[in-house]
A = this chain, B = another copy of it.
Amino acid sequence: MTWLGIGEADWIALQLTFRLALISTALLLVLCLPLAWWLAHTQRRIKVVIEALVALPLVLPPTVIGFYLLILLGPRGAVGGTLERLGANHLAFTFTGLVIGSMIYSLPFVVQPLQNAFQAMGRRPLEVAATLRAGPWDRLVSVVLPLSRQGLLTAAVLSFAHTLGEFGVLLMIGGGIPGQTQVASIAIYSHVEGMDYASAHHLSLLLIVTAFVMLVCIYALNKRFKIVGVAP
């Protein structure tokens, strides 16, 4: 079953990739919202340490992060081992493991744009909303999210696109199991290494075109519903 010069396994890998990117981006956005908010507004000293920590996953090569994660999530690691003792399975070579790995690696791409957006927004819109009876959640939905839309978009795009292309971490903790952990990036690389350049090119092209179309749509929608700017 080959279509567009792309074999079935690769279609599955592609599908897995988008699922992974979608899930980890969604989870990251949810988790990073409070963190970025706190970073944007706290006056505490510890803030700079947390800010530095957030950027740290980028500093190590993904394969190495992946290696340490493999140990951590595997049956002998702190996380995997605990799970095993609780009767569950460890997380190496699982989709969950991939999600965790790509989330850790994409963390800075989500936290930093959100934090910037929150800082740029200032407290005024929230104060206004509060005087108009909006409680904390209400303010989040009706004021914070719309006003930090550009930051949210950047966070989502960077995290999503980055997960599409993530290779090292996923290679290490995924084990390249077709249909489970073999994502497109690993499939493409396999083709390249195996000198099956045609498949590599086709799959790369498809990934790029799909991502490009998605991004153009997202940006076009964003532009359509854009606030015209602040001046005059």
A→B interface (CB under 8 Å): 47-49, 51-53, 55-65, 67-68, 108-109, 112-113, 115-117, 119-124, 127, 150-151, 154, 157-158, 161-162, 164-168, 185-186, 188-189, 192, 200, 204, 207-208, 211-212, 215-216, 218-220, 222-223, 229-232
Q: Looking at chain A's contact residues, is the secondary structure mostly helix, strand, loop, or mixed?
A: helix
Show 23 A/B contacts (Cβ-Cβ < 8 Å), sorted by A: A52-B219, A55-B157, A56-B161, A56-B208, A58-B164, A58-B165, A59-B161, A59-B211, A60-B185, A61-B165, A61-B188, A62-B168, A63-B167, A63-B189, A108-B161, A112-B157, A112-B158, A113-B116, A116-B154, A119-B150, A123-B230, A124-B231, A127-B232
A207 contacts B108, C-beta separation under 8 Å: no
Residues from chain B with Cβ under 8 Å of A229 in the complex: 119, 122-123
Closest to A41 in B: B229
Q: Which residues of B contact A168 (CB under 8 A)?
A: 62, 167-168
- Given A55-B161, A123-B231, A124-B232: 10 more A-B contacts, CB < 8 Å: A55-B157, A55-B215, A59-B161, A61-B167, A62-B165, A62-B168, A64-B192, A109-B109, A113-B113, A120-B150
Given A122-B231, A124-B230, A223-B48, A64 contacting B204 (CB threshold 8 A) = yes
Which residues of chain B come closer than 8 Å to A56, judged between CB atoms? 161, 208, 211-212, 215
Top 7 nearest A-B pairs (CB, nearest first) are A122-B230, A61-B185, A52-B215, A120-B120, A61-B167, A58-B161, A123-B231
